[in-house]
Amino acid sequence: MERTLIIFKPDAVQRGLCGEILSRFEKKGLQIAGMKFMKIPRELAETHYAPHKGKPFYDGLVRFMTSSPVVVVAFEGKGAIEISRKMMGATFGFKAEAGTIRGDYGVSSAFNLIHGSDSPESAQRELGLFFKSGELVDWTPTMQSWVYDMSKGSPE
């Protein structure tokens, strides 16, 4: 099983889309391992987006991510990173396919509703920024055997 960090950005929170977005991940079969409603401190936003430092959009992104509360979620599942990235859709809502989160709810090139880790390495780094040791929960939902074929002992 793989874990990924998903952030429902300030525009998703302000537009009241968090429940809808969360539901889409759960209905897909990903399970929540941790979740927080928080206002990201500037220092944390700068650290989180450090790989983009020096790019023209960096300052605006940090300002945007600290402008309003967000929902931070750790999802778990087989292939959780790739599945989440597909569900999110293209970065800009006006380019995202219908059926994706950004394609169904976004039109802006600046406000794109959601962040998701793009690799196992970034997921580990990002989860460590937003969740302290012991805050993520290891558990097995009773429905897991209906999401995955577990007949060989591991999810397929």
Would you please indicate which residues are annotated as catalytic (active-site) residues? 115
3-state secondary structure 27-46: HHCCEEEEEEEECCCHHHHH
The token pair that represents 93 in the structure block: 């809502």
Residue 131: closest CA among 21, 15, 2, 4 = 4
**Contact yes or no for 124/118 (Cβ under 8 A):** no
Q: Which residues of 38-68 are buried (b: 16+ CB within 10 A; e: fewer)?
A: eebeeebbbebbeeeeeeeeeeebbebbbee
The token pair that represents 120 in the structure block: 């196992």
